[in-house]
Structure 1
Amino acid sequence: MTEPIKKGDYFHIVAASSPITKKEDLHSGIKVLQEWGLICNHFDEIDRSWGYLAGNDEVRFNELHPSNHYPLLAFARGGWGSARLLEKQQPWKEGWMIGFSDLTSILLARLASGFQGGIHGPLITTLGSEPDWSKDRLKSILFGNCVPDIYGEPWGGGISKGRLIVGNLTVLTHLIGTEHLPSFKKSILIIEDIGEAPYRIDRMLTHLRLAGVLHQLSGLGFGSFTSCDDEKDVDKSKTFKLLEIFKDRTQDLKIPIVSSLPIGHCCGNASLPLGSQAILNGDKGSLSLLK
């Protein structure tokens, strides 16, 4: 169990993926954490870049694994690049780690190595624009307080309990066949994505089926799939809506399923601690965290 954070603790910002392009968004997120009584480790690499990455692999790896220990590592932004860092041996440390989207690779790899404390939640560059309830939820998780249930659309299937695994569908799928995926046996999986055409979502869900991932689960939740139903220049009579794909690829699993959960690339990205025990109620559409 990861120790709750406390006022006066330091947080370390990690730009493990794409370059930071909006200075105001970065500072807005830092301000939120500072208002909670946390102290920012010096961070002035706003313009650092190496092609489409926020620095070369060595620079970003060293930032992910600083020589000093910090109770909280907060990722700056997503994009692409974090999976490249997994080619080296990871000297994981105890503590909290917050991010989502491309950072799914880091969060899942860390969980697969047996470390708790990963939170699928807002990035530093998105935290400032989150609604108050979302900020309060993240703060409660970090400081060891209870959080309310979140709700989506119930698809039935009863109630299940399991270890919580949360992540971006595209990034998660590309970790199949590596050592960086945690066990999905009797887990509750919550997935989200952005900008993926319906046929690509179909392909990835089919990949998860062929790899035996979906059939191991005790529950499944769909978060926000932003701009994934907006294919252009497509004959609408010869495609599927996203909801149709979700149901076609999961209706035979016979487990609780909830869709439209407030998780992912949406303003109102509910924080969820990976590896925690949770309850998914497919009849009421709720996801509850257990202490």
Structure 2
Amino acid sequence: MVLLEPYTITPRLQKGDDVLSVSISSVINNDTSLLEGLQVFKEWGLICKNQVVKGRHWGYFSGEDTVRLKELHPEETPNLIAFARGGWGAARLLEHNQPWQKGWLLGFSDLSSILLARLSAGFDGSIHGPLVTSIAKEPEWSKERLKSILFNKSAPDLYGEPWVGGIAKGPIVATNLTVASHLLGSRHIPDLRGVILVLEDIGEAPYRIDRMLTQWRLNGILQNLAGLAFGSFIDCVDQDTDNASQAFTLNEILKERSIDLNIPVIANLPIGHCCGNAALPLGWEATLDGYSGRLSLHPC
């Protein structure tokens, strides 16, 4: 198994550290949820710096690529960069040079491309978790989990539905299936051999989920994992009602594409486009128990 060696281990946050909110995907037209999210960080004792410009857009993006790239890599590196919202646009920035810096990075969905690319470059500190515009609506346990990861580098176990038994140990990588699938073959996908992979998605028909998982299998990626877990798959239903009797359900697809891998598999973890969206730090060592459905983190 090939493991990434982070250039530096990200230190715990402390009260008085700064958090920078940026928007590098889709446009933000309503800043109410943004301000509510920043208030959560303020209550944790962090100093909030907001770089989001309400209504700024270049087409359906929150600004031109060069503008968003500059905001992703500020001159003064904050302790935490928290992405404001997802949508689409982050992966376009990966066409450019990435002067990654140490520190924490928080987001998910479209921002999965940035988290994966940064991990692939060897940097610790990327967290798959709530966006600034969604964190205020997260249940208390989810907010406390994220806070504990940032300030204490610890988190309670998560539980899902056991599908295939066994015990897997390895670094954890959580990502959006669609976003990650469009990075396959690029240098922005980390080496996933021996990894515990967690996948989630939203709004994709089961046949598209089937197509993407098949692509991962054809690339030999799923066959070389230590363990596999599925988070939430919201609104992933077949809209073709005429052929509903012949269609596979989402769970049928997920099971058929995973249960023959000879690795532990669990499903229905509270991760992804659900509320709550449990934070997972990429690259941390973890244990996946396919008998009980438990996912445990072992902080570095």
Aligned residue runs from structure 1 range 31-50, under 5 A: 31-43=39-51, 45-50=53-58
Q: Which residue of 1 aligns with 2:114?
A: 106
Correspondence 1:271 to 2:279: yes
State which drifts further: 257-266 or 143-152: 143-152
Aligned pair in 2 of structure 1 residues 234, 15: CA closer, same or farther (>3 Å)?
farther
TM-score (norm 1): 0.98
Q: Which residue of 1 aligns with 2:27?
A: 19
Q: Which residue of 1 aligns with 2:253?
A: 245
Contact 2:170 2:196 in 1 (8 A): yes
Question: What's the CA shift for 1:145?
Answer: 4.2
Contact 2:163 2:259 in 1 (8 A): no
Q: Which residue of 1 aligns with 2:193?
A: 185
Aligned pair in 2 of structure 1 residues 29, 232: CA closer, same or farther (>3 Å)?
farther
Q: How many pairs does the alignment contain?
A: 291
Q: Which residue of 2 aligns with 1:115?
A: 123
Q: Which residue of 2 aligns with 1:227?
A: 235
Secondary structure at the aligned position of 1:143 is classed as: helix
Letter in 2 for 1:177: G
Q: Which residue of 1 aligns with 2:3?
A: none
Q: Distance in 1 between the 2:121 and 2:153 partners?
A: 26
Structure 1 vs Structure 2 CA RMSD: 0.9
Correspondence 1:78 to 2:82: no
Secondary structure at the aligned position of 1:160 is classed as: strand
Q: Distance in 1 between the 2:168 and 2:242 partners?
A: 39
Q: Which residue of 2 aligns with 1:141?
A: 149
Q: Distance in 1 between the 2:240 and 2:76 partners?
A: 49
Question: What's the CA shift for 1:22?
Answer: 2.5
State which drifts further: 109-118 or 12-21: 12-21
Pick one of 70, 80, 98 that aligns with 1:62.
Answer: 70
% identical aligned pairs: 56
Q: Distance in 1 between the 2:284 and 2:84 partners?
A: 24
Deviations 1:45-82 (A, max 9, x none): 11111111000000100000000110100000000000
Correspondence 1:282 to 2:286: no
Correspondence 1:169 to 2:177: yes
Unpaired runs of 5+ residues, structure 2, are: 1-8
Contact 2:22 2:50 in 1 (8 A): no
Question: What's the CA shift for 1:43?
Answer: 3.1
Deviations 1:96-125 (A, max 9, x none): 000000001000000000001000000000
Pick one of 194, 202, 223 that aligns with 1:215.
Answer: 223
Contact 1:157 1:254 in 2 (8 A): no
Contact 2:24 2:69 in 1 (8 A): yes
